[in-house]
Amino acid sequence: MKSQREIFATRHAAAMKLRDILPLDQIKSEDWQFVAVSRGGLILATELNERLKRRVDYLFSEPIYAPQNPRCEIARVSENEEIVMHENLVKSFEIQVDYIYGEANRKHEEKILASIYKYRKGRHFEDMEGKVVLLIDEGAETGMKMMTAIKTIMNMGPKAIHIAVPILPEDVLEELESLVDRIYYLHEIEDFIDTPSYYGELPEIDDKIIAKILGE
């Protein structure tokens, strides 16, 4: 059943519209690096990359949830062990920083390292020093995945960081604009629900597809 808020029929449709606003000649001449920040973002990245033939990678990260609410993401850790916290939520739940660091270490050991070996055969994320990076997602939602990726790559000393995302919340757009060089997007939503609400279909992505993309 289609969502009443549907803007894109599929990930492919979103990617094709997004590609129309990307500076394709600049991407080729400057050898931009495509980095997905989610599984859906990885599919979008491969769609965008069909003619450009860039290398596509995935920066793994894992959420850290509030101990009082296992659905409330209060922080996120990347595969390079960079941590981004949602300061207001951390304060409102009166969560100790030691808890966040402990959970970050556990998620890195149990989840992220397992993903690196499962999908990349142990290959760690490439150094982005001096490179132009395009971070890609299907819908930024809270912005935590993007902010974690930005912090991780910023610490590598890139030449520039850009974002490509078909749809994102208005408040997240405002926050991200101050952190990166440019954001390529199609729609900003004031009262954002969740990413699936704006796609006609958004199927789960099989592990074999992820492994195949990252193994190419």
Q: Smallest Cα–Cα separation from 156: which of 182, 184, 178, 124?
A: 124
pLDDT at 92: 87
Q: Smallest Cα–Cα separation from 178: which of 143, 152, 138?
A: 143
Please state, in angstroms and rounded to a whole number, the distance separating the CA atoms of residues 58 and 39.
8
pLDDT at 4: 47
Residues 6+ apart with CB under 8 A from 129: 156, 157, 158
Please, what are the domains in the chain? Answer: 11-59+125-215 (3.40.50.2020), 62-120 (3.30.1310)
**Burial readout 29-39 (b: 16 or more C-beta within 10 A, e: otherwise):** eeebbbbbbbb
Dump pLDDT digits (tens) for 93-106.
899 999 999 999 99
Q: How many CB atoms lie within 10 A of CB 177?
A: 12
Q: In the chain, which stretches have pLDDT less than 50? A: 1-4
pLDDT at 176: 96
Q: For the CA atoms of the chain, what is the radius of gyration?
A: 17
pLDDT at 47: 94
pLDDT at 51: 83
Output DSSP code: residue 8.
B
Q: Smallest Cα–Cα separation from 34: which of 21, 47, 17?
A: 47
